[in-house]
Structure 1
Amino acid sequence: MSDASSAAETAPRRGPREWTVDTVFFLLAVAYGMAIAKSRLHGGPDSAPDAMFKAEQIAGAVGCGLLWLRRRWPVHLALVLIVLSVFFEMVAGAMLVALFSVAVQRKSRTTALVYLAGLVPVVADVFFRPDPLLSGFQYLVFGMIVQASAVSWGLFVSHRRQLRDRMVAEAELRAEQAQMRTREAVAREMHDVLGHRLSLLSLHAGALEYRTDASPEEVARAAGVIRQSAHQALQDLREVLGVLRAPVDGPPQPTLADVHRLVAESGRAGMRVKLLEEVPEAAPETIGRTAYRVVQEALTNARKHAHGAAVSVQVSGKAGEGLTVAVTNAAPGPRQPRDPAPVPAAPPGQGLAGLAERVALAGGRLEYGPDGSGGWQITARLPWP
């Protein structure tokens, strides 16, 4: 009974419900003791000697009073009441309540041992207080059934509590998992949206830093791109954060038709990028948005890792055949002394890992690696029902 000596401070505080339950059990134990006393009085003068009857009443009152400790020391209380029940019959009602408490608060092994100890008063009654209406065997069976009923009720309540606690824990776990998925989605969105804008900012800021001989027109043009990119980055950030405040509506999401705008924007920023063929007609929302993110992430990586290299974008496919997005950048040429510094790269693989996860969620697959000519290619194949 390793769990029988639980610390007193671990007992939960009583609320209105607990006070009500404890009061009901106390009154039931008192009623049981009064019923025993009444049967003693009706049994005749010889059946209830004054001294023994008074001792029974005192023991019964003490046993009922000790029930208020059943939540704090259930096993100790049950053992004390079992010992008292061997000598005083009026304590039996309080002992049954104590057995119920042990079954509710302790493990099954402890409950079984306390139940077996509770049979000692029943055996003692068979020898020292035989029932005039039942044989010794019948009384023993009856006592076992009564105590087993109290223990079974306690086990049932314990199981219900464990089931309730498990359901609460599972609900909390599901809430945490949902919150984690939301955080991952927001992180992916912020990476996709802000990575593209901030790479443009870094590219043109680097140009201003290294091109000390740039003409005023070139400086103004670079500053204009920086200002526009910074403004758009702030706007995108507001939209992403708006999802956290009002996730039902959310910001407007890019579609397949926006690939043209994305390529043109990168070209105006000084990137050598070309759209090889016309983008197909509007695809389903999820597929179009995923294709846009693939192109966006590929252009951002090209600016980071292949500065100055020519980039080609190809989006092809149609309904029933699927959609293929291929972004290829040539090998970067030797860096000139006046070229801006490359955009600082994030830890390798993070962007592509998130992109692969996004493509997988859309039911497609992502392939990336060297193209055989010193360049790099990212290819996404998406289903288009």
Structure 2
Amino acid sequence: MPPPAPVPPRLGPWSRTWRYLVAGGTGLVVWSVVVLDASTNAPEPGSLGIGLLVTADLLIGLGSLALLPLRRQVPVVVAVLLVAATSVSTFAVGPAALALVSLATRRRWRELLPVGGVWLLGSVANEMLNATVVRDERVGVMLLPALGLSALVWGLLVAIGFYVGTRRELVRSLEERALVAEAAQESRAEQARAAERTRIAREMHDVLAHRISLVALQAGGLAFRDDLSRDEVRAAAETVRDGAHRALEELREVLGVLRADAPAATEEEPPQPTLDELPALLADVDEAGAPVTLDVSALPGATRTSLSGVPASVSRTAFRLLQEALTNAQKHAPGAPVAVRLAGEPGGRLELTVVNDAAPVGVHAGSRVPGAGLGLVGARERATLAGGGLEHGPDAAGRFVVRAWLPWSA
């Protein structure tokens, strides 16, 4: 089964008007030439028979013009009728040519060839009719050139129709490709927005969970310590307030990124923390009441206060993983000692280990911070995206261990 013919584009008022003007003008020119020839060569110029024939030619041609608006609804029928009308009306040549071009835009030979046969037969009939009117005995001699000229005109009209149809299909294809490209671009933009929202959500969790955990632990310890002096209570309250203020500042930074629909070209996103900020992170944890030890003996060129030898991208990911592991330890075992170990070498991988004991005896349950259980899940996803991995769980001694590794060259 052949594919359905493409739907032709809708024509505007001017597009329809100039087509009808061209068809009518062409028919009028051909009709005028025939009238002039009949008036000049007829044996009885101005006779009633010639006048009636010329008038009938004109009326049939005008009727052919009236059929043109139907050429898109029933193209084959209209083309056959108008081409057949050329056998008795030279004025109909213009409307028939337009109908033939319109049919050829469909590019279906099984429709064009029968119409072409009718076109040639119509030419023969019209030539014989004209020869009869003017009583020209050379009709047999003139018939062959007339057929050749008619076939040439038919081929030219079909070629024009094929060109118009091909161009319409090309334009339609380009429009469809533009729509597909626009939809793909919109989809990529939406994916980018979703990825950015996910990244910001992860940053919010990493930063705020750690900061708020410290505030909650400090406030919880303050609530259950009744042996503190007034100055110690004031100092602890100041620490809690300072932690809350820092948490609010970090929240404002993150929300500022979310609100910035089109940041200025001079604005830059604040740099993400790296392992260079690890000493400050450990100091915060230690200040909250959880003793922390750091072992970097297996990390070449590193000291407790200088970890700048790790590549920047790896250092940023490693800091977030350690931050999440320390936050997890503070949530579930507040006050328990925490041991952090970094190891690795260039060309290999960076290994991170965080070990914390169970909460010390006497730590009240109310000082523990509730968690959703998704922090380490997100940390594992972050490590996996960086080409590494993360494992966590209790060891044989009952301690909770978080182990992560990242490729050194990530």
Residue identity opposite 1:304 in structure 2: K
Within the candidate set 333, 336, 352, 2:376 is matched to: 352
Conserved? CA contact 1:195–1:300, under 8 Å: yes
Conserved? CA contact 2:333–2:359, under 8 Å: yes
2:290 aligned residue: 271
Residue identity opposite 1:313 in structure 2: V
Distance 2:278 2:317 in 1: 11
Residues 128 and 99 from structure 1, CA distance in 2 versus in 1: closer, same or farther, beyond 3 angstroms? closer
1:69 aligned residue: none
Residue identity opposite 2:293 in structure 1: K
1:311 aligned residue: 338
Residues 92 and 333 from structure 1, CA distance in 2 versus in 1: closer, same or farther, beyond 3 angstroms? farther
Matches within 5 A, 1:1-385: 23-24=14-15, 26-28=17-19, 30-43=21-34, 44-45=37-38, 49-60=54-65, 63=68, 66=69, 78-88=72-82, 89=92, 90-92=94-96, 94-95=98-99, 116-117=110-111, 121-130=115-124, 132-134=146-148, 144-209=158-223, 216-217=230-231, 219-244=233-258, 245=260, 246=263, 249-277=268-296, 278-279=303-304, 281-282=307-308, 283-332=310-359, 338-346=364-372, 348=373, 350-385=374-409
The unaligned stretches of length 5 or more in structure 1 are 67-75, 104-110
The unaligned stretches of length 5 or more in structure 2 are 39-49, 83-91, 128-145, 297-302
After superposition, what is the alpha-carbon deviation per residue over 1:170-193, rounded to whole angstroms, capped at 9, x for unaligned? 221221222222112211111111
Distance 1:27 1:48 in 2: 29
Q: What is the CA-CA distance between 1:51 and the residue it aligns to?
A: 2.9
Distance 1:239 1:197 in 2: 14
After superposition, what is the alpha-carbon deviation per residue over 1:18-70, rounded to whole angstroms, capped at 9, x for unaligned? 85xx635642453244224322332344797323423423542663xx4xxxx
Secondary structure at the counterpart of residue 369 of structure 2? coil
TM normalised by structure 2 equals 0.71
Q: What is the CA-CA distance between 1:370 and the residue it aligns to?
A: 2.8
Conserved? CA contact 1:253–1:289, under 8 Å: yes
Distance 1:220 1:59 in 2: 103
Conserved? CA contact 2:340–2:355, under 8 Å: yes
Conserved? CA contact 2:76–2:103, under 8 Å: no
Conserved? CA contact 1:239–1:250, under 8 Å: no
Larger of the two Rg values belongs to structure: 2
Aligned-residue Cα RMSD (Å) equals 3.8
Q: What is the CA-CA distance between 1:255 and the residue it aligns to?
A: 2.0
TM normalised by structure 1 equals 0.75
Q: What is the CA-CA distance between 1:290 and the residue it aligns to?
A: 1.4
Residues 377 and 125 from structure 1, CA distance in 2 versus in 1: closer, same or farther, beyond 3 angstroms? same
Residues 209 and 94 from structure 1, CA distance in 2 versus in 1: closer, same or farther, beyond 3 angstroms? farther
